[in-house]
Structure 1
Amino acid sequence: MDDAIVPGRLSVPSLSALAAFEAAARHSSFTRAAEELNLTQGAVSRQVAHLEEVLGVSLFERVKKRVSLTVAGAAYAAEVRDGLSRLAAATVSAMAFRGAAGVLNLAILPTFGTRWLIPRLPRFTEAHPGITINFATKLVPFDFTREPLDAAVHFGDPVWPGARLHRLMGEEIVPVASPALVARFGLSEPADMLKAPLLQQSTRPRAWANWLEEQGLPPQRALMGPRFEQFAMVSQAAVAGLGLAIVPRFLVEEELRSGALVIPVERSLIGREGYYLVYPEEKASLPTVAAFRDWLLAECAPSA
């Protein structure tokens, strides 16, 4: 039987052939791929050559001792890399079932996860000791069919095609700054906010504009200022005195209690968007998803 083909209804290249191709594509070298896979350079070359024969296309351009991906090779390498990664993740998840009730692969927003969700998780693990939760960070919506994830915590509107959404909570947005910055710029009125640098959060580009407009102030400076990817970075920049941040109050409660941050002007903004638990329709009946959904909704209930 040819080592590069798996017999069946659809002929699919073997994992060894795909792994050899992916490594050679990543390194642009058969020699380095062979070193990584503990094979000979000739074995990698033969795997790739037979893969090209099966596919009927050239995957590499060979010039003397150098190789580079063709257009077809580059496109195929991206798909193969994604497929191998998904297979590896599925294998790890399957292995995690040993002695466990199940595994939940969960995407979280980083600051929401570290500041709100993870401190509460001991209550979930106490109630469901057999469920293991694996975490991934996702800042924007994604395609569940292309990611090895069972559920996600999403902020925004309740829109996610092919998925169920459960509203968890809204948020109160407040301006915060270090006491030193408040004193330096004399921040005591809404209009004073325009004196200081405005720290930006990249996934909330209109946050400052919305707050300024709510106070009847011109939003021209709303997008001017250092930009950060996560709320945790924005809040730490505010603690360091780099500028004013506008953040959900519940994400900076610790800094407000300690005095590292203060709210110079008690003018909050209640956003129309919210936090949602999201999961694909076909995973609604999974015991792990159902257990986490019920626990999380109870945690977010007003009396929780």
Structure 2
Amino acid sequence: MRGRLLPSLNAIRTFEAVARHNSFTRAAEELNVTQSAASRLVRSLEEYLQVSLFTRQSRRIELTDQGRFYNALLRDALDLIEAGTVELISSKAGKGTLSIGMLPTFGTRWLLPRLPAFQEQHPEIALNIVSSDGELDFTKERIDVAIRFGHGNWTDAIVDPLMSEEIQVVCSPRLMNGEHPITSYESLRHHRLIRHSTRPHSWEHWFRSVGVHPEDLQWGPSLEHFFMIIQGAVAGLGVALLPTFLIEEDIRNGNLITPFTDRIAGPGAYYLVTSAAKSELPRVKIFRSWLLGQLA
């Protein structure tokens, strides 16, 4: 079996340092070698690759096109090696930092209020929580687990269903007490309907589910996150369609009113998505077990 086609790892490390500092002198200081040794290692790498990685003019150096290409690849590769090294060093007995990619509104309204209990039970685990609702990439986002809405079809991951959602129509008391109170589906045509930009067909799904085909609807602003839609509805920006579990407090305190009793199942569910590569790390197993236990 053929071995890997790799140049000297020491030469690679030296080249990346020189490219990062744009200086042989500063790279040599970082690596604790002489400037001539750093220069020789880069030369050996160029000879191995049979390409010039730098142009050298007097005391100035500059990456060639091939050098920029190779440096970008090596920087990402070394970042991954460094992250993995830190990962293993910090993961003894479940310690270390657990990075969670969190849907902004779900995290704020559902997960964050529960996390103090997790921290009390597991003070040895530090938490790093980032907003994450785009295409899921554990490596790029540097996260261990994520909470996502969808249909459970993520690859290279362990997928645990958390909950489905019911959606309902809400508005501010000001709209309800205004010139056109919402007393029927027909009365919705007098108001702007706020849309969720990542779920553009939610209103159509709701109308189909309740068997209504209204005409002359006014579309209001399209907002990216549920917390924006909630605030927009509270402010009277328009009528909103929102998951019930996200707005229970706003309904209780009178910030929002539900003009209809209809609650319709949303076209998806919330999932805990765990990186398959990190699923056996103690802190990841601890968090996954704890979070699923919250649903019992």
How far the C-alpha of 1:167 sits from its partner, in A, is 0.8
Cα deviation 1:33-55 (Å, max 9, x = unaligned)? x9xxx9xxxx9xx89x9787876
Give how far 1:282 is off: 3.5
Q: Deviations over 1:121-156 (max 9, x none)?
A: 111112212112211221134233544221111111
Distance in structure 1 (CA, Å) of the matches to 2:8 and 2:215: 60
Letter in 2 for 1:243: G
> CA distance change for structure 1 residues 9 and 60 in 2, over 3 Å: closer, same or farther?
closer
Distance 1:218 1:79 in 2: 55
Is the counterpart of residue 281 in structure 1 residue 279 in structure 2? no
Aligned: 1:18 with 2:13: no
Relative to structure 1, the CA distance from residue 285 to residue 68 in structure 2 (aligned partners, 3 Å threshold; closer, same or farther) is closer
> Which residue of structure 2 lines up, in the alignment, with residue 170 of structure 1?
164
* Residue in structure 2 matched with residue 131 of structure 1 by the alignment: 125
Does 279-288 or 116-125 show the bigger shift? Answer: 279-288
Deviations 1:147-181 (A, max 9, x none): 42211111110111121111111111111221112
From 92, 104, 115, the equivalent of 2:109 is 115
Question: How does 1:89-168 map onto structure 2 within 5 Å?
Answer: 101-168=95-162
Paired letter, 2:16:
L
Give 1:180's aligned residue: 174
Secondary structure in structure 2 of the residue aligned to 1:170: strand
Q: TM-score, normalised by structure 1?
A: 0.73
Partner of 1:201: 196
Q: Aligned equivalents of 2:196 and 2:167: distance in 1?
A: 13
Aligned identity (percent) is 39
Secondary structure, aligned partner of 2:177: helix
Say if 2:270 is the partner of 1:258. no
- Give me the TM-score of the superposition, normalised by structure 2: 0.75
How far 1:14 moved relative to its partner? 4.4
Residue 54 and residue 234 in structure 1: after superposition, are their counterparts in 2 closer, same or farther (change >3 A)? farther
Q: Is the 8 A contact 2:91 2:282 kept in 1?
A: no
Tell me which residue corresponds to 2:240.
245
1:70-114: CA deviations, max 9, x gaps? 5x6776566456456656755765676699723322111111111
- Distance across 2 between alignment mates of 1:168 and 1:200: 25
RMSD between superposed Cα atoms in Å: 4.0
CA contact 1:141–1:154 (8 Å) conserved in 2: no
Over alpha carbons, which structure has the higher Rg?
2
Which secondary structure does the structure 1 equivalent of 2:143 belong to?
A: coil
Poorly superposed stretches of 4+, deviation over 6 Å:
49-54, 58-62
Unaligned runs of 5+ in 2: none
